Amino acid sequence: MHCRRFLPRSVSRREMLRTCAGGFGALAIAALMDDRSFASTSPLAPKPPHFPPKARNVIFLYMDGGPSQVDTFDYKPMLAKYDGQDPRQAMGQLEPTQFNSIGRVMKSPWNFGQYGESGIWVSDLFPHVAKHVDDLCVIKSMVSPFPEHTAANYFLHTGSGLQGRPSMGAWVGYGLGSENQELPGFIVLNGGLIPPGGLDNFNSGFLPAAYQGSIFKAGDHPVANIRPAEPSTERQPEGRAPEERGFGGPTDRGPARRSESPGLAGDHVGRLDG
């Protein structure tokens, strides 16, 4: 008969990953090994472009609540001509809006002037920018048929006024990939205000979900669902018995209720035992 006085063979790290939690850890190690030791199959892996690249990153600044184009670079003399008048009398029929709240025509409170050899119109808001206006490219031919903020935001970010299309950042990640394997290919820096239309402005649409925007916020918790929600390790469920986690059944939950409400202890006991 064996004395049983021996030390069992230690479990290797690979065996632990393969057997613990139904082998879920093996999936993670397989993904890491695939990314670092073999040809990467990540959807965000860099892809060769059609032409030699000239830019390393794409940074799009969406400044919600910024100054209007008619107060910056798009001079509209007709606004000054019809200032204070009903726009329907001055301009004719208007597109309907959500609340049909149509005020009066208002001219820009800033004066405009033409600067540089190009003669680009610049308002008094940007006196220093006006000195370098020949280094700028001001596009005035872009229009949209959407008078409301939500549809206009979809059009701006996705090229369509309808919800559900892939955003500009999703298309960039899909077409070019990313050389950075430590961060998502499409990051949205949230300054505290998601634009009208919500997160669908940064969605991947019919493209795979790997290309949708990842929201990074300013503060101590820049990425959601990274840190445990429990205030302490004692309240986290890992490593605790089922009855301690509240999965034991009515008789196991009874003492916890009685300890929280000692004045009703007898009533709880009567119900649970009866």
Domain boundaries, the chain: 12-41, 145-223
User: For the segment 53-76, what is each residue's pLDDT rounded down to a tens digit?
Assistant: 777 778 888 877 778 889 999 999
User: For the segment 122-166, what is each residue's pLDDT rounded down to a tens digit?
Assistant: 999 999 999 999 999 888 888 878 878 888 899 989 999 889 999
SS (H, E, C) 111-155: CEEEECCCCEEEECCCHHHHCCHHHCCCCCCCCCCCCCHHHHHHH
User: For the segment 159-188, what is each residue's pLDDT rounded down to a tens digit?
Assistant: 998 899 999 999 988 988 888 878 888 888
Nearest alpha-carbon partner for 177 in 5, 14, 31, 47: 47
Is residue 202 very low, low, confident or very high in pLDDT (cuts 50, 70, 90)?
Answer: very high
Residue recorded with tokens 């890491």: 32
Task: Yes or no: say if 122 and 115 are a contact pair by the CB < 8 Å rule.
Answer: yes
| Reported pTM | 0.56
Select the highest-mean-pLDDT range: 4-8, 101-105, 147-151, 160-164.
160-164
R_g of the chain, CA atoms, integer Å:
31
> What pLDDT was estimated at residue 233?
65
